[in-house]
Amino acid sequence: MNLSKDYADFIQQLQWNYFVTCRTPYKIHTMTVRNWLTKLLQRSNKVEQAFFVSERDKGDYNNLHVHMLIGTNTDMTYQEVKYGMGNVSVGDYQPIYDSEAVCKYVTKHIGKDVDYDIVFKS
């Protein structure tokens, strides 16, 4: 069983529009990213679902950065995503053209020491 590959196959079945990398100078805890996504889902009527994985930062091993896939029902700007999550540095904001590749990329460390989850608009 390859958890990373299985998860990539699973999330690839969903509709993803944007790939985002987030960083913050503050320590990222278990609830940090979930709080960002709760805000995003509450502040935007465009976001249908989001997947995230937080992984060690190569530049600062004591901190994490977060990769996200965001599924929307219409186009969404960088500013809308940034406003939606609050005080977060949003980088690598880009539309997804190759869902298979990006799903493999964001799940590459699943099964190791990473936190990940998927959230849906309720």
Tens digits of residue pLDDT in 40-50: 999 999 999 99
pLDDT at residue 56 in the model: 85
Contact 73, 46 (CB under 8 A): yes
In DSSP notation, 57-114 reads -SS-TTSEEEEEEEEESS---HHHHHHHH-S-EEEEEEE-S-HHHHHHHHTTTBTBS-
Q: Is the pTM of this model over 0.85?
A: yes
Determine the structural domain holding residue 110 and report its residue range.
Answer: 3-120
* Neighbouring-strand partners of residue 68: 20, 52
Region of residue 35 (left: phi > 0; alpha: psi -120 to 50; beta: else) = alpha
What three-state secondary structure class fits 48? strand
Tens digits of residue pLDDT in 32-42: 899 999 999 99
Length reported for the chain: 122
Contact 22, 66 (CB under 8 A): yes
DSSP-derived secondary structure letter, 14: S
Run of H or E residues at 9: helix 3-11
Q: What is the CATH number of the domain that holds 67?
A: 3.30.70.1910
Mean pLDDT in residue range 37-64: 88
pLDDT at residue 67 in the model: 95
* Residue 30 banded pLDDT, cuts 50, 70, 90: confident
DSSP H stretches of helix in 12-63: 30-43
How many domains, the chain?
1
